[in-house]
Amino acid sequence: MSSENQGQFGDTIGQPTVTVVASYDDMSRRAADIVAETIASDPACAITVPTGSTPVGMYAELVRRVKAGELDVSRVSIFCLDDYRGTTWEDPASLTKLLKHEFLIPANVPDELVHYMPTMADDAEQATAAYEEAIVAAGGLSLAVIGLGPNGHVAFNEPGSGPETRTRVLDLTQQSRDQNAAYYEAGAKIPEQAMTMGLGTILDAKRIVMIVNGEAKAGIVKQMLTGPMTADLPASWMRLAGDRFEVILDQAAAAELDQTR
Ligand code: PGA
């Protein structure tokens, strides 16, 4: 399946891998396998992982493995991918809060190894630069697990974002704010700005794994993999990572791809 994209990725080294699995549960298990492999080969590695609805199954599987004694996350540094500007993780509408409840707390990840987005910093420029430096100081990201927004965003890199972008504050689109309101109880107020790892920050990871499920994203998946690399669809820049980039899709999300080759 990965061969269908030959020649469309410019000067990248190798081609992204597109893995199509039968179900959401299979997608979650495959992503959990990659997280576990990464940690097994370097127990003190640094990784980033997403929030939202897509990774819930992956987190459940990782927590299961930790509780079964199959996975040790006691030395892993976790860098948060994104959150809203001006919210702490205790805020009702905080992405980090979801991450804490679905993964960090039940898996018992030591809090001192969790790098929270410095969303409350007065000097965002200085704080985001320090965040980038902390990633470098941790040895770089061994793995970035990411999702795909319905508008093509990765983390909160909204349309208009280029592959050179670093961790920063940016304005959210109304579409993303509406999308994320669905994670919370009715009436949750979604802020207008976010702080996000940049696309360039994510592209520096040794391995990038994107998980996508559901028919609603089949069209954007196809555009991301087969259309031009463009800031209109920020996720398309992930193809610059060549064979460091793997997309794991359930059948529904892969429905518009040519799977005959
Ligand atoms: P979702 O969000 O997992 O809730 O679909 C993905 C994203 O916006 O990155």
Contact 55, 31 (CB under 8 A): yes
Whether residue 83 lies in the annotated active site:
no
Q: In the prediction, which pLDDT does 12 show?
A: 58
Q: Which ligand 1 atom lies nearest to the CA of residue 214?
A: 5
148 CA distance to ligand 1 middle (Å): 6
Q: Which ligand 1 atom lies nearest to the CA of residue 55?
A: 3
The C-alpha atoms of residue 10 and residue 13 are separated, in whole angstroms, by 9
The C-alpha atoms of residue 105 and residue 36 are separated, in whole angstroms, by 17
Q: In the prediction, which pLDDT does 6 show?
A: 36
Whether residue 82 lies in the annotated active site:
yes
Q: In the prediction, which pLDDT does 43 show?
A: 98
Does residue 52 line the site of ligand 1, with CB under 6 A?
yes
Does residue 8 line the site of ligand 1, with CB under 6 A?
no
DSSP string covering 31-46: HHHHHHHHHHH-TT-E
172 CA distance to ligand 1 middle (Å): 14
Give how far Cα 138 sits from Cα of 6, 67, 107, 131, Å: 34, 26, 21, 11
pLDDT in tens, 217-243: 999 999 999 999 999 999 999 999 999
Placement of tokens 């689109």 in the chain? 173
228 closest CA partner among 45, 10, 57: 10
29 CA distance to ligand 1 middle (Å): 18
Q: In the prediction, which pLDDT does 188 show?
A: 78
**Which ranges of the chain would DSSP assign to H, the alpha helix?**
24-41, 56-67, 95-99, 124-137, 174-181, 199-203, 218-226
Whether residue 151 lies in the annotated active site:
yes
Q: How many CB atoms lie within 10 A of CB 69?
A: 7
Q: Give every strand in the sheet of 82-84, ordered side by side.
A: 82-84, 193-196, 168-171
Q: Which ligand 1 atom lies nearest to the CA of residue 180?
A: 4
DSSP string covering 69-84: TS---TT-EEEE-EEE
Rg value, the chain, Cα: 17
Does residue 234 line the site of ligand 1, with CB under 6 A?
no
Mutate to test the pocket of ligand 1, among 148, 183, 202 (most ligand atoms within 8 A of CB): 148
* Amino acid, res. 154: V
Query: pLDDT tens per residue, the chain (261 residues)?
Result: 443 333 344 455 789 999 999 999 999 999 999 999 999 999 999 999 999 999 999 999 999 999 999 999 999 999 999 999 999 988 888 999 999 999 999 999 999 999 999 999 999 999 999 999 999 999 999 999 999 999 999 999 999 999 999 999 999 999 999 888 888 877 778 999 999 999 999 999 999 999 999 999 999 999 999 999 999 999 999 999 999 999 999 999 999 998 765
Identify the active-site residue in 5, 26, 151, 256: 151
Nearest C-alpha to atom 8 of ligand 1 is from which residue? 149
The C-alpha atoms of residue 118 and residue 134 are separated, in whole angstroms, by 12
Give how far Cα 73 sits from Cα of 76, 114, 140, 211, Å: 5, 11, 17, 21
Does residue 53 line the site of ligand 1, with CB under 6 A?
yes
Q: Provide the 3-class DSSP secondary structure of residue 144.
A: strand
115 CA distance to ligand 1 middle (Å): 21
The two three-digit tokens of residue 148, written as one number: 């795909």
Q: In the prediction, which pLDDT does 211 show?
A: 98
If phi > 0 it is left, if psi is from -120 to 50 it is alpha, else beta; for residue 191 that is beta
Q: In the prediction, which pLDDT does 90 show?
A: 87
